Amino acid sequence: MPLDKNFNRREMDPVVVKNNGSPLKLEFINEVRINKSAVEKRCASVINRRTVKKHNQAAWLLKAITCMDLTTLSGDDTESRVMRLCNKAKNPLRNDLLESLGIEALDIKVGGVCVYHQFIRTALDNLQGSNIPVVAVSTGFPAGLTPKKTKILEIKESVRSGAQEIDIVISRRHVLSGNWKKLYDEISEYKEASGDAHLKTILATGELGTLKNIAKASLVCMMAGADFIKTSTGKETINATLPFTLVMSRAIREYFELTGFAVGYKPAGGISSAKDCLSHMILIKEELGSKWLNPSLFRLGASSLLSDIERQIEHFTTGQYSSFNRHGIA
């Protein structure tokens, strides 16, 4: 069942300028207000109203694959696991599925591969020639409680080792105590240490207490120069939810209107089904527009999600669901 030949992973890519940041505007931060009931009502409308089916669903799921940071961040990670992950990143769908869809020539691959610092070289070697960036988590991931000097050295070492993108975790205590100047200064130092690498700031949204804190932290991180804002480490009790996506996407829109810099968004943790993935993508499209649904401005932090997407695409092409053990990641 071939898809439209016009599907292309780069067709909506805007020209993205690296976020240079802006001075900290505390008066702007202090004016932030969030209507929680309105946020919940808006998110419920996405789930209840917006559905994509058949050809459209398959196309959206292919887009999701191209925006995915395929991730392994476990204590038992090994070089062989990272190698298998990289092979899957380069070939996320089986050849028979690509042939059934008629998209063999589109070079479908994921948006990035996310690993610990120790496996940067392994990932680079196995992704050579694919143009898939290597993403390294840093700054004492996931708790972020190591000394600042150590965090900065960690960022610099990851960049020196070849990581093109750095995922850092913020100090949650600055948010919970309302010390926005300290948070701004901290992210500014990480930005300087990251050099030419893209800086993605992980807010650990499930630990920030309120939606207002999430909105304020998002704005402060962008003012400090973050190229992406990301929901979670994946290790918290609550990770990426639609209310978090709505609040953070509107903060991105506010910052874009304020400065002209387009900042990316990455929901991560807890998105394990194609249905959940589509809800986040639809919300981003409605709030920020189609140009944000590309790897330059949108990533999905995922490990098991790809398995379910592959199952859904197989169901689209064959009419039958296969078991999960046929869609291993690493």
Burial class for 140, CB neighbours closer than 10 Å (0-12, 13-18, 19+): middle
**What type of residue sits at position 319?**
G
Q: Is 308 a catalytic residue?
A: no
Q: Which of the residues 167, 227, 276, 308 is marked catalytic?
A: 167
Grouping H, G, I as helix, E, B as strand and the rest as coil, residue 73 is coil
CA distance 290 to 94: 27
* Tokens linked to 33: 């207000």
The sign of the CA dihedral 139, 144, 149, 150 is negative
Secondary element (H or E) of residue 12: none
> What's the rounded Cα separation, in Å, for the pair 327 and 308?
8
- Taking residue 233's Cβ as centre, other Cβ atoms within 10 Å add up to 24
Catalytic residue among 69, 216, 266, 276: 266
Q: Which two tokens stand for residue 237?
A: 């009790």
**Torsion angle in degrees (nearest 10) through CA of 156, 147, 209, 23:** -60
Active-site choice (63, 151, 230, 276):
230
Residue 198: φ, ψ to 5°: -75, 135
Known catalytic membership, residue 196: no
The yes-or-no answer on residue 266 being catalytic is yes
Provide long-range contacts, Cβ within 8 A and 24+ apart, for 23-30: 23/223, 24/180, 24/181, 24/184, 24/220, 24/223, 24/224, 25/223, 26/180, 26/181, 28/219, 28/258, 29/180, 29/216, 29/219, 29/220
Residues catalogued as catalytic: 167, 230, 266
